[in-house]
């Protein structure tokens, strides 16, 4: 796949938008939700909120669980890595993790509310990662249809990013990113400048769910922090699988077999809707809540 004029390799086609924020539990089920449940019962939908404060608390609790899950998977490294979620009341503000707190120690009360100008305007009044702010503010401006973004420097994600190539459709799980991820191959160093952040954000435009940042790491987006985090962790594992497959095939004794186009498209359609991806993270959320003995809610 050749790079465009803006040096972005894209692999995405427009998909019909499914807005889920504050959707009532009784909303019409998607085909994916009907297919994933058996026995006459289905999983509940997203919760509803009577006020913005209860919604904010829910967001911060799920952010804390997301960070703890990332820490448990070895995705915490120094000051790098950040997750952001748009504020439910003010669309030009978003919640971020504080600078210098280990992912595995994160609590709801640690989250910082910043505006698009970079000012801390609520929550925990401490510093946030400057490069993270540049990236996330650009992504939130570029994608008003998504509320969460997750960026980190995982080992496998960084290793595969060195090739500057999208993921192959090697297995069923790869199909979650079928035609819905891109490669940004214009890395210019740590993102302290707004122009670099804007170029990076452009690579996740349209309906992309993720971008591989060449020589840098991975970035995923979602309508909930649960979706964005699940997608990040999935993509990190898929990069590991890709690296192992490439190593096994390198001597020339084995040939890669890809998921067929029609099967990949069908699997994507059945697995990629925001409610399904939100549900994919709920076992992890409940585990982190249990593991922390409720501390993450504090």
Segment (H or E) for 182: strand 180-184
pLDDT band at residue 17 under the 50/70/90 scheme = very low
Identify the DSSP state of 27: S
Tell me the C-alpha distance between 266 and 270, whole Å.
6
The residue ranking higher by pLDDT, 159 or 46, is 159
Instruction: Give 102's DSSP letter.
Output: -
Say if residue 5's pLDDT is above 60. no
% of the chain residues with pLDDT over 70: 84
Mean pLDDT of 86-90: 97
Architecture of domain 49-292: 3-Layer(aba) Sandwich (3.40)
For residue 25, what are its two tokens? Answer: 């539990």
For the chain, give the mean pLDDT.
87
Answer yes or no: is pLDDT of 6 > 50: no
Task: Report the 10 Å Cβ neighbour count for 133.
Answer: 24
* 200 — pLDDT class (breaks 50, 70, 90): confident
User: Residue 33: its pLDDT value, please?
Assistant: 64
- Among 28-32, 35-39, 51-55, 244-248, the minimum mean pLDDT is found in 28-32
Q: Are 289 and 200 in contact (CB under 8 A)?
A: no
Q: Where along the chain do its domains lie? A: 49-292
Residue 159 Cα distances to 3, 200, 214, 259, angstroms: 20, 19, 9, 23
**274 phi/psi in degrees, rounded to 5:** -60, -35
Say if residue 26's pLDDT is above 50: no
* Tokens coding 202: 């452009």
Sign of CA dihedral 163, 165, 168, 172: positive
28 pLDDT higher than 80: no
Looking at 82-91, 128-137, 286-295, which range is the least confident one?
128-137
Distance CA 211, CA 203 (A): 7
Asked if residue 106 lies in contact with residue 97, where contact means CB atoms within 8 angstroms, the answer is yes
pLDDT at 72: 96
Tokens of 76: 């915490």
Name the token pair of 164: 């500057």
């Amino acid at each position: 796949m050749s790079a465009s004029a803006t040096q972005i390799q894209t692999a995405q086609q427009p998909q019909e938008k499914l807005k889920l924020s504050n959707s009532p539990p009784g909303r019409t089920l998607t085909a994916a939700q009907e297919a994933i449940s058996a026995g006459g019962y289905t999983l509940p939908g997203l919760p509803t909120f009577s006020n913005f404060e209860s919604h904010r608390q829910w967001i911060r609790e799920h952010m804390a669980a997301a960070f703890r899950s990332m820490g448990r998977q070895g995705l915490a490294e120094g000051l790098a890595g950040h997750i952001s979620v748009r504020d439910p009341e003010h669309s030009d503000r978003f919640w971020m993790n504080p600078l210098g707190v280990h992912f595995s120690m994160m609590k709801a009360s640690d989250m910082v509310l910043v505006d698009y100008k970079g000012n801390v305007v609520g929550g925990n009044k401490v510093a946030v990662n400057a490069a993270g702010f540049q990236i996330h503010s650009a992504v939130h401006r570029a994608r008003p249809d998504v509320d969460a973004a997750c960026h980190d420097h995982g080992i496998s994600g960084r290793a595969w990013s060195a090739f500057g190539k999208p993921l192959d459709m090697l297995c069923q799980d790869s199909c979650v990113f079928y035609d819905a991820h891109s490669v940004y191959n214009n890395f210019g160093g740590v993102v302290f400048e707004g122009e670099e952040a804007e170029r990076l954000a452009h690579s996740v435009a349209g309906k992309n769910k993720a971008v591989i940042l060449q020589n840098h790491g991975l970035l995923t987006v979602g309508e909930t922090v649960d979706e964005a985090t699940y997608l990040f962790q999935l993509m990190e594992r898929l990069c590991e699988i890709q690296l192992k497959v490439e190593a096994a095939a390198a001597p020339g004794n084995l040939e890669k077999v890809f998921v067929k186009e029609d099967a990949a498209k069908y699997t994507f359609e059945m697995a990629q809707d925001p409610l399904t991806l939100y549900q994919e993270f709920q076992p992890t959320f409940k585990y982190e809540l249990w593991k922390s003995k409720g501390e993450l809610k504090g």
